[in-house]
Amino acid sequence: MRRGTAATAARLGALAYRYRAGLLCVAIFAVMSVIAPRFLTTGNVRGILKASSVNLPAAVGFTVVLICGQLDLSVGSAMTMGGVVAVAMQPQLGWAGSLAVAVALGSAVGMINGLLVAKLRINSFIVTLGMMILVRNAVLMYHDGTIPAETYELSDWLQMPLAGVATPQVAATLLLAAAIAVLLSRTPVGRGFYLLGGNAETAFYAGLRVDRYIIGAFVLSATLSAMGGAIVAMSEAVASPTLGDSSLMAIVAAVIIGGTSMEGGKGSVAGTTVALVALTALINGLSCRGAGYEIQLMASGLVLASVILWDTCMLQRRRKRRGQRRDLLDEFCQPVDETAG
Amino acid sequence: MSRPPDIRSAAPAVAGRLYNVLSLLGVYVLIGALFAAGRLISDEFLTTSNLLITLRSVTLLGIVAVGVSFITYSRHYVDLSIPGIMALSGTVAVWALKYGFATSLAAGLGTGLAVGLINGLAVGYYRLNPIVWTLAMGSVLSGLIRWAYAGRQIYPDKATPAGRAFLQLYHAEVLGAVPLVVLLLAIAAIAAHLVMQKTGFGAQLKLTGSSYEVARMTGVNVRRTVAIAFVISAGTSALAGILLTSFNKVGAFYIGKGYDFAAITAVVLGGMTLAGGRGTIVGVVGGVTAIALMDNVMSLVRIGDFVIGEYPKQAIQGALFIAIVGVHSYWLRKSGMDDA
């Protein structure tokens, strides 16, 4: 009897661990809607979705790079670049043209990152750290200070309420995320990313073109970040050279809480998306309660810290169990249990 | 007819030897080049006052980098909570000034060491990912300071002797004309060098960084070793945070911003690879010096009205950073000293 309940508890624990981002999201929404006034209103939920959509494309790109077992610290700078270029070039090229230029520049940054990591085999931490500094300052050289957009039609359209809580801005970023999710989980290319992150050597011997996958991951990440930055700037009708400066912490937190492993080979876009919404809802709810920026910083740090603590606990328990035959162990433990109980 | 390979005759060819020499000299080649470039560009470069200013501008970064190199050496990348530690220890030191100068310093350093202990427990003993954990820690610390002081800055009280002493701390000179900060950097660097090269802990740290599993199975207390590395890094960060607070004359949450990435830049530039167990404190000091010289040489460039602004300067530094580390790791690979 006791064994049955223990097994059920363990299974429930494993299930909770697996869907932790979803659970966290539900828990935060439940708690906040009780304690925070005006949290569960259409306007506020729309605000939460809008705020999450700011970092969503970059976070999805970061997820892909992390699944490959690499690191991309330059996502924030790429976001800034996308936003500034999209708004600054709009008078000459129109929105479509400026968006194209922003995306092309993003791909170029990603391509350089990928080539340096894959071909010259420089550590991705170093490459993307250097690239973060380089791109941030290149953007500041190009334009120092905020740039207002010349027209507001696109911004109005992107912010227009759509089917209750969504706006075209949110829908666009969700579409991007969904496309990458399908790529990762439903195509051979996506499985290649997981294989590469799980074990690069195996991937090589399995005939995977490892270099191309690494370059592809970095291109995806930088392109998505630039696109995300451009979408934010278009929808706000203003670009600032500090747009993506504080994004890195939020992105890393969301990606890790969403179940992507720093060691690579594990993770999902859905997890990242849900975790990002959860974190944004937490911050939003806290500010509905009147908490300031400092509480938000502390709360997101604490959530991230406790999630990775949980991660490690689960990992260590699994290591301890590895190679054990539970049926035999249970038999051995039975008499001890009875005398103790 | 094939002969069995003679391991002694497999010594590297001349080109390989050049790689060897260059990768051993590492960042000092770069420093030499920068000196030559500086001499060519401007007459102002090789003056005592210019070099002193250059040296002073990076002493705090040097102190932080010496501590961080222990973490990098043990293959745990970097402590991203450094800005948080610096701000917190500086602010606590200013707050504790009312209990006297010595108490204030002790409180500041103690706070930093306590944070380092938590980091060490989490990363060393619980094996949490260093980047993610310290990022979370940095966020919590930054929030904590803003919350404790409601976003306000706190100032040392000039009316009290302790306050005046605190404000003088950064500008103090000892032994004639040696600035105290430079002396502290020298002491920290020499101590760190001795610990790494001459003590059992240094050897254990090197083994832990080179191969964690091998170190563990050899009987090294790897968890404690890594934890101590984090405590050392937090200690030097706290020291630098107190000095920076004294320089800025204010305790605030933004003290130390950017020092985490700057420190890892210096450490890696100095030839300490992220793969762990490789590099020396001499190299790290060279890396810090190289950063200062790069900055200084670029600001001396004057072609007519053309000067390099702050943003281009930093952008060039970012590109140079990738290039130099790339070349260094290429040399290491070519000379067979690293297979990464």
pLDDT digits (tens, 9 = 90+) for B145-194: 888 887 778 888 888 888 888 888 888 888 777 889 999 999 999 999 99
Domain for residue A30, yes or no?
Answer: no
The answer to whether the CB of A297 falls within 8 A of the CB of B142 is yes
pLDDT confidence of residue B23: 61
In this structure, what token pair is assigned to residue A26?
A: 């539900």
Helix, strand, coil content of chain A in percent (nearest 5): 80, 0, 20
Q: Is the pLDDT of residue B245 over 90?
A: yes
Q: Which helix (H) or strand (E) holds B87?
A: helix B82-95
Q: Is B334 helix (H, G, I), strand (E, B) or coil?
A: helix
Domain for residue A44, yes or no?
Answer: no
Q: Name residues whose C-beta falls within 8 Å of residue A73's C-beta, 6 or more positions apart in sequence.
A: A125, A128, A129, A131, A132, A248
Rounded Cα distance between B1 and A41, Å, is 84
Rounded Cα distance between A119 and B61, Å, is 32
Domain for residue A330, yes or no?
Answer: no
Q: Cα A31 from chain centroid?
A: 23
Q: Is the pLDDT of residue B205 over 60?
A: yes
Domain for residue B25, yes or no?
Answer: no
Average pLDDT over residues A168-178: 93
The answer to whether the CB of B38 falls within 8 A of the CB of B297 is yes
Rounded Cα distance between B180 and B107, Å, is 20
Domain for residue A315, yes or no?
Answer: no
Domain for residue A317, yes or no?
Answer: no
Could you tell me the CATH number of the domain that includes residue B303?
A: 1.10.3470
Q: Is the pLDDT of residue B207 over 50?
A: yes
If phi > 0 it is left, if psi is from -120 to 50 it is alpha, else beta; for residue B250 that is beta
Taking an 8 Å Cβ-Cβ cutoff, which residues of chain A contact chain B? 71, 116, 120-123, 125-127, 129-138, 140-141, 144, 249, 252-253, 256, 262, 292-302, 304-305, 308-309, 311-312, 316
Domain for residue A321, yes or no?
Answer: no
A123–B340 C-beta distance less than 8 A: yes
Domain for residue B18, yes or no?
Answer: no
- From the list B77, B137, B321, which residue is nearest A301 (CB)? B137
In this structure, what token pair is assigned to residue B85?
A: 């530690």
Interface mutation vs chain B, best among A134, A248, A249, A266, most B CBs within 10 Å: A134
Could you tell me the CATH number of the domain that includes residue A133?
A: 1.10.3470
pTM of the model: 0.89
pLDDT confidence of residue B329: 82
Percent of chain B surpassing pLDDT 70:
91
Domain for residue A11, yes or no?
Answer: no
DSSP code per residue over A221-283: HHHHHHHHHHHHHHHHTEE-TTTTTTHHHHHHHHHHHTT--TTSS---HHHHHHHHHHHHHHH
What is the residue type of A303? V
Q: How many CB atoms lie within 10 A of CB A34?
A: 10
B330 contact residues in A (CB cutoff 8 A): 120
Rounded Cα distance between A108 and B320, Å, is 18
Percent of chain A surpassing pLDDT 70:
94
Q: Is the pLDDT of residue A338 over 70?
A: no
Q: Which of A83-92, A140-149, B12-21 has the lowest mean pLDDT?
A: B12-21
Cross-strand bridge partners of residue B154: B251
Domain for residue B22, yes or no?
Answer: no
Q: Is the pLDDT of residue A1 over 60?
A: no
Rounded Cα distance between A219 and B146, Å, is 37
Q: Is the pLDDT of residue B1 over 50?
A: no
ipTM over 0.90: no
pLDDT confidence of residue B22: 65
The string of pLDDT tens digits covering residues A293-311 is 888 888 889 999 998 898 8
Q: Which residue has the tokens 């960084």?
A: B209
pLDDT confidence of residue A67: 95
Domain that holds residue A61: 51-310
What is the residue type of A62? F
In this structure, what token pair is assigned to residue A241?
A: 């050279």
Rounded Cα distance between B136 and A256, Å, is 11
Mean per-residue pLDDT over chain B, rounded: 87
Q: Is the pLDDT of residue A114 over 90?
A: yes
SS3 track for B15-47: HHHHHHHHHHHCHHHHHHHHHHHHHHHCCCCCC
Domain for residue A248, yes or no?
Answer: yes
- From the list A71, A130, A311, which residue is nearest B318 (CB)? A130
Domain that holds residue B212: 31-334
- Give alpha helix (H) positions in B96-220: 101-119, 130-148, 161-168, 180-198, 200-210, 212-218
Nearest CA distance, B190 vs chain A (angstrom): 27
What does DSSP assign to residue B13? -
| Domains in chain B, number | 1
Interface mutation vs chain B, best among A75, A126, A304, most B CBs within 10 Å: A126
Rounded Cα distance between B138 and B134, Å, is 6
B330–A294 C-beta distance less than 8 A: no
A253–B261 C-beta distance less than 8 A: no
The answer to whether the CB of B228 falls within 8 A of the CB of B76 is no
Could you tell me how many CB contacts below 8 A there are between chain A and chain B?
134
Q: Is the pLDDT of residue B30 over 70?
A: yes
